[in-house]
Amino acid sequence: MMAVNCTLQILLLLLFILLSPVAITAGATDTFGKGQNVTDGETLVSAGGTFTLGFFSPGASAKRYLGIWFSVSSDAVCWVANRDHPLKDTSGVLLVASDTGDLLLLDGSGEVAWSSNSPNTSSVEAQLLESGNLVVHDQRSKTILWQSFDHPSNTLLPGMKMGKNLWTGDEWYLTSWRSPDDPSPGSYRRVLEYATRLPEVVLWQQDAKAYRTGPWNGRWFNGVPEASTYAHDFPLDVTASKSEITYGYTARPGAPLTRVVVTDAGVVRRLVWDASSLAWKTFFQGPRDVCDAYGKCGAFGLCDASAASSAFCGCLQGFNPASPPAWYMRETSGGCRRNVPLNCGGNETATDGFVLVRGVKLPDTQNASVDMSISTEECRDRCFANCSCLAYASAEIREGGGGSGCIIWTGDLVDLRYVDRGQDLYLRLAGPEIGMKTMTVNLIFQYISSLALGDSFKG
């Protein structure tokens, strides 16, 4: 009885394998090993058909690159092997080196244009997984020796990570293409910053910050509240442990295709494939407006994207433009200066207090100190007791309001803006400034306008 049952099951299994198109293509086209190769014009297709690996020419370029793209959208290239070493013609070939087991991209003359530098192992094969990850693994143990997800280009796919493995020292970040015709590394890098162990994602243009998401608040990056609208399909995954500090995301089964890409122009986009219109839809784009330009309003400035009348920049309560003429000329990056010095000595005449700045993308946390283990009330006490503390905020927000943890700023507050569903920042001010309203900036604008331009200003 047992044996009959078993045989039946095996038969059914065989039938299933024979009839299933997925199983057949899986064996046939997503994998290759020693003695096999992929030449220009041939492709490797992942088991479910989502991703294709092959040779392509980007944009108007005639040069050839080896890459991985979405099968439904061949210009959506998400990984490029030979970014810096294009091939001149279609004589390239991808193969597994018979001696080292490296994945090698050779040009027509047999020169190596790119190599995976995977550990020397005799029995390896390469496989394009349904996630878009190209892996080199040991044929017997299936141990992964190398994977393209560890070497991101300009695209973050579900299952990839940005950040750092603290044990191996491996770091993952995205780099833009140089132009739509040239996948070599361009001037933008998207990096997970983790010095405070409170991660935030920063877009760098060479050595300058161009745009930051704001710190992780336990649910989304503080300056990207949009994420809460697609977190159901694409849950964000931030880990800060002893072994890694990383950010990535996954895709719920059945969710549409998605990718996060850093364009050559320095724009970060989350794109989602709309299968009915056969087009990528933008779910998030950053920087999204003038206030996302890093440090737009300088130190202690506060950007308001809806305030065209004050050219978007204002100063925090208790501060005024460091240079009013420069502010009038929309040179706001010089920031704001404190009106009344803090009076922090801890004696009974000390009158410092805190004012609440509501609904903001928190200032750059690069030089902040973070303590996840204390409450926001303890944070206030800690800030009040320390004369170098200029502001504090909760590090984590909770369902239904409130927060926990503690971020303390002791230096300039840079890159503050109003944002939907933003966080509360508590700003230290001298007693006389508390309770005063921030009318001063607009008054200065009106004053300078009338002085400098009289009636000649026609907009």
Ligand X SMILES: *[C@@H]1O[C@H](CO)[C@@H](O)[C@H](O)[C@H]1NC(C)=O
Contacts with ligand X, residue ranges (CB under 6 A): 37, 93, 95, 99-100, 120, 122, 343, 345, 347, 349-350, 364, 366-367, 369, 386, 388-389, 408, 410-412, 414
Rank residues 227 and 408 by Cβ distance to ligand X and give the closer one.
408
Rank residues 141 and 229 by Cβ distance to ligand X and give the closer one.
141
Integer distance in angstroms from the first to the last C-alpha of the chain? Answer: 92
Q: HSE, CB side, 13 Å, CA atoms: give it for residue 290.
A: 15
Distance CA 298, CA 400 (A): 32
| 286 Cβ contact partners less than 8 Å away, ≥ 6 residues apart | 203, 211, 213, 223, 224, 267, 268, 292
Beta bridge partners of 361: 417
State the minimum distance, in angstroms, from the CB of residue 322 to ligand X: 15
State the minimum distance, in angstroms, from the CB of residue 343 to ligand X: 5
Rank residues 348 and 399 by Cβ distance to ligand X and give the closer one.
348
Rank residues 32 and 328 by Cβ distance to ligand X and give the closer one.
32
Rank residues 58 and 318 by Cβ distance to ligand X and give the closer one.
318
Structure token pair of residue 244? 């890694």
State the minimum distance, in angstroms, from the CB of residue 389 to ligand X: 6
Cβ–Cβ < 8 Å for 301, 315: yes
Q: How many CB atoms lie within 10 A of CB 110?
A: 9
Rank residues 59 and 411 by Cβ distance to ligand X and give the closer one.
411
State the minimum distance, in angstroms, from the CB of residue 34 to ligand X: 10
State the minimum distance, in angstroms, from the CB of residue 295 to ligand X: 8
For residue 181, give the nearest of 78, 41, 57 by alpha carbon.
57
State the minimum distance, in angstroms, from the CB of residue 122 to ligand X: 6
Rank residues 341 and 459 by Cβ distance to ligand X and give the closer one.
341
Rank residues 345 and 435 by Cβ distance to ligand X and give the closer one.
345
Rank residues 208 and 275 by Cβ distance to ligand X and give the closer one.
208
For residue 356, give the nearest of 441, 435, 439 by alpha carbon.
435
Distance CA 398, CA 113 (A): 50
Cβ–Cβ < 8 Å for 296, 313: yes
Query: In residues, how long is the chain?
Result: 459
According to DSSP, residue 26 is labeled H
State the minimum distance, in angstroms, from the CB of residue 224 to ligand X: 19
State the minimum distance, in angstroms, from the CB of residue 412 to ligand X: 5
- Scored b (16 or more CB within 10 A) or e, 342-376 reads bebeeeeeeebebbebeebbbbbbeebbbbeeeeb
Distance CA 268, CA 191 (A): 12
State the minimum distance, in angstroms, from the CB of residue 93 to ligand X: 4
Distance CA 247, CA 386 (A): 32
